[in-house]
Amino acid sequence: MITQKSMREVAIMRQAGRIVAKTLDLMQSLIRPGVPTSLLDAEAEKFIRSFGATPEFKGYRGFPATICVSINEEVVHGIPSSRQLKEGDIVSIDIGVRYQGYIGDAAKTFPVGHISKAAQNLLQVCQTALQLGIAQAKTGNRISDIARAIQTYVEAHGYNVVRDYTGHGIGAEMHEDPQIPNYVDKSWLHDDVVLKPGYCIAIEPMVNIGTWQTKTVRRQGWDVVLTKDLKWSAHFEHSIAVLENDSMILTLPEED
């Protein structure tokens, strides 16, 4: 069931999204070689709580941390630990917060120090794919328009989009209907959805240098997702509200 949010609900989600965006900015300021990912997690939690918000990921289906930290070949759901970031790594930070009963959710992949040209290209393609997907998130379009824009751009640049994990609806819960795939396939087109005002969705392409296929490893009771061929992956995400005549990115730091 897809719910249409009121403008009051959208306004609260914008506040939640702004907290997420500011937390990502904080993460960017802290990321450097030698930093343990547990430090990023601790600082993120303190920062989120300073706004009167709570970390939505912590305890979600048993997840043990405030943020997901996925390094290099880790696609999503990486768990903060004593592992230190290294020069040349790329690190994806995914953050969810709950504020006044509603969720903000966004992710970015950051360079650690100086990274290779190949890694720079991966990040640029993934970030641009997200922007192209967002441009299709408007009333009257379909989810397949978002997916097609992302897939077409990514594959034209020689990369692949992850198919086992998707974007999602968002609101009072972290994961709501509908799913937002980053590829188009007949396996789900029969459930294609026309976007309506008030739909709030998280668009999140995960882009791999190699195969789109993934595998999981069990860590601290949680499945961390890796690329099957262990080549690197990037992840960018924004939460979006579809409005009558346009759309609003909920997870930007600046004031409206």
| DSSP strands (E only) in 146-232 | 160-161, 167-169, 176-180, 200-203, 206-208, 214-219, 222-227
Query: Mean pLDDT, to the nearest integer, of 88-92?
Result: 98
* Interval 141-185: pLDDT, tens: 999 999 999 999 999 999 999 999 999 999 999 999 999 999 999
pLDDT tens per residue across span 33-60: 999 999 999 999 999 999 999 999 999 9
For 112-131, how does the pLDDT look when each residue is reduced to its tens digit (9 = 90+)? 999 999 999 999 999 999 99
Rounded average pLDDT over 16-43: 98
- 70, β-bridge pairs: 92
> Which contiguous run of DSSP H or E holds residue 234?
strand 233-235
Its pTM stands at 0.96
Please give the pLDDT value at position 255. Answer: 66
How many CB atoms are located within 10 Å of the residue 127 CB?
16
The confidence score (pLDDT) of residue 89 equals 98
Say if residue 256's pLDDT is above 80: no
- Amino acid 175: pLDDT: 96
Task: Tell me which CATH code domain 7-249 carries.
Answer: 3.90.230.10
Write down the pLDDT at residue 75: 98
DSSP string across 1-56 = -PPPPPHHHHHHHHHHHHHHHHHHHHHHHH--TT-BHHHHHHHHHHHHHTTT-EES
Dihedral pair phi/psi, residue 88, rounded to 5°: 95, -10
In whole angstroms, give the CA distance from residue 254 to residue 243. 19
Can you give 75-137 as a three-state secondary structure string? EECCCCCCCECCCCCEEEEEEEEEECCEEEEEEEEEECCCCCHHHHHHHHHHHHHHHHHHHCC
Predicted confidence (pLDDT) per residue in 222-238, tens digit? 999 999 999 999 999 99
Residue 96 near residue 56, CB atoms below 8 Å: yes
- 8 or 190, higher pLDDT: 8
Side-by-side strand order, sheet with 222-227: 74-76, 222-227, 214-219
Task: Say if CB 41 and CB 49 are below 8 A apart.
Answer: no
| Mean pLDDT calculated for residue range 54-69 | 96
105 pLDDT above the threshold of 60: yes
